[in-house]
Amino acid sequence: MRPLILALAACFVLKEVQGWGYKNGVFHNSIWLEQAAGVYHRESRKGRYQLTFKEAKAVCKYEGGALATYEQLEAARQIGFHVCSAGWFDKGRVGYPIVKAGANCGFGKVGIIDYGYRLNKSERWDVYCYNPNAKECGGVLTDPQKVLSSPGYPNDYADEQICYWHIRVRYGQKVRLQFLDFDIEDDTDCLSDYLEIYDSYDDVSGFAGRFCGDELPEDFISTGNVMTLKFLSDSSVTAGGFQLEYIAVDSDLSDETNTLT
C-alpha cells in the first residue's frame, strides 16, 4: 500500500472518529442503532452542525441517497434508531430521533424532536439521509450463537462504514468470540479501519482491543453476558473484511473446555 494514501487516510479518520464519538460530552451513538431501515445520520467532516441545507442534500446524494422524510425517520426510530444530534431532513425540516428519554438530549421526550421547517436554509446542522440500498450492519443481538461479518462480506467492505453490534446473551453466560476470517486495511495503530471489542454493552467502557491487518485475532471471552463490537472504515482503501462467530458459553466452563455446539 502506498504510504502517502495511508497517512492521508489516517488523519482523515482521526477527525471522523471524534465526530462520530463524543459530541459535547455525550456519546451519541452507543447502544442504539446508528443506522436503521435505510436511514442514517451524517455530519460534516468539519464536525458537528456544519452543514447548510444545500450541503446536507449533497452529502446524502454523494452516497447515493436522499434526505430522509419525516416518515422514514420515524420508521427507523421505531426500530431503535436513536441519535442525539439535530439534522436536516426532507423539505428543510430539522430534528432528531430519540428512542429513550435521557438527561442530555431530547428534553426528556421520546419521538422525533422536531425543530420544524427552517426558514433560514443557511443554518448549519447535521443531516439524516435515506438510502434503502446502503449496506446495513450492526444491531442488538440476543441469539445464543451467531456468525457476523463485515458489510458486504465475502466481498470487500465499502468505505465509510460504521457498525455496532451489541451482543447480549443469557444472564450467567459469557460471550465467546472466535474469528473465522480477518482482513482489514492495515496500518500501524489501526487508525484507518478497525474492529474494536468492548467487554461491555456500549463502547464507552470495557475497551478490550482494536484490530486491523490480516492476522486472525485470538478468541475473546467476555467477563459478563454482554459484548460490543465496533467496525469502522474510513474514506479510502478497503479490504476483504471479516467473519466471526460468537457463542454463549456457561460461565463455569473454563475457556479451553467450552464444547458448546
Ligand X SMILES: *[C@@H]1O[C@H](CO)[C@@H](O)[C@H](O)[C@H]1NC(C)=O
Q: Which is closer to Ca ion, CB of 193 or CB of 203?
A: 193
Measured CA angle at 200 (ends 199, 206), to 5 deg: 60
Return the beta strands (E) in the chain as ranges: 22-23, 26-27, 35-36, 39-42, 66-67, 87-89, 93-98, 111-117, 126-130, 139-141, 145-149, 162-168, 173-183, 194-198, 207-211, 220-221, 226-232, 241-250
183 touching Ca ion, by CB under 5 A: no
Q: How far is the CB of 51 from ligand X (least distance, A)?
A: 11
Q: Which is closer to Ca ion, CB of 173 or CB of 238?
A: 238
Is 104 in a helix, a strand, or coil? coil
Question: What phi, psi does 145 have (nearest 5°)?
Answer: -160, 135
Residue span 218-247 as binding mask against Ca ion, x where in contact by CB under 5 A, dash where not: ---------------xx--x----------
Residue span 114-153 as binding mask against ligand X, x where in contact by CB under 6 A, dash where not: ------x-xx------------------------------
Residue 123's binding partner out of ligand X, Ca ion, none, with CB under 5 to 8 Å set by partner kind:
ligand X
In angstroms, the CA 183 to CA 156 distance is 9
Q: How far is the CB of 9 from Ca ion (least distance, A)?
A: 6
192 touching Ca ion, by CB under 5 A: yes
**CB neighbour list of residue 189: distance below 8 Å, 6 or more residues apart:** none
Q: Which is closer to ligand X, CB of 54 or CB of 170?
A: 54
Q: Which of 183, 185, 199, 203 binds Ca ion (CB under 5 A)?
A: 185
Residues that bind ligand X (CB under 6 A): 120, 122-123
